[in-house]
Amino acid sequence: AIKRSQAKLSRALKKNITLQRHAITRRDLHSYVELDAQFHELNSFFSGSDRILDMNRTLMRHMLRFRTQALYMMETASRSLRGHEKILQAIERSDAESAVAMLEEHLNSAKDDILYYEGRFIGPRELGDEPLYDFGMPNAGCTRIEYS
């Protein structure tokens, strides 16, 4: 996407990130979730590859429930926005290698947030707030343990 249309991509992402900041400032996480999806759609669209665009849409559709739950926490949404800003900075410098590295970092962070949210303990703080581990796999087997 950087090589094909760096200026257009940069403008579109900058506008999207501005709207993301406003949504977070207003604590409007519903709008933020939509803008987050648009951010990734823009990157896929400007790649010029129908295959990448289709893959992104398929992944977004499958991950919607998990992403929505994780992004409905201010801390997670703010971390996601910081990742988007790093990606944009690399794109503005026309630094494709750095943009890919920042994208990978952002996606790994999102994956960790989803696993953390889906596998967290719900209950007294002294019981911990770490992801569940079952058979050595994060989030394997169950997603919640609730204590009353």
**Interatomic CA distance for residues 30 and 106, integer angstroms:** 20
What was the pLDDT predicted at 16?
A: 96
Global confidence as pTM: 0.70
- Which amino acid is it at 21? R
Centroid of chain to Cα 8: 22
**Interatomic CA distance for residues 19 and 30, integer angstroms:** 12
**Interatomic CA distance for residues 61 and 113, integer angstroms:** 18
**Interatomic CA distance for residues 37 and 55, integer angstroms:** 13
Tokens 């943009």 found at: 99
Residue-level pLDDT, tens digit, the chain, 148 residues: 666 688 899 999 999 999 999 999 999 988 998 899 899 999 889 888 899 888 888 887 767 666 666 667 788 889 999 999 999 999 999 999 999 999 999 988 888 877 776 654 444 444 444 444 443 344 444 444 443 3
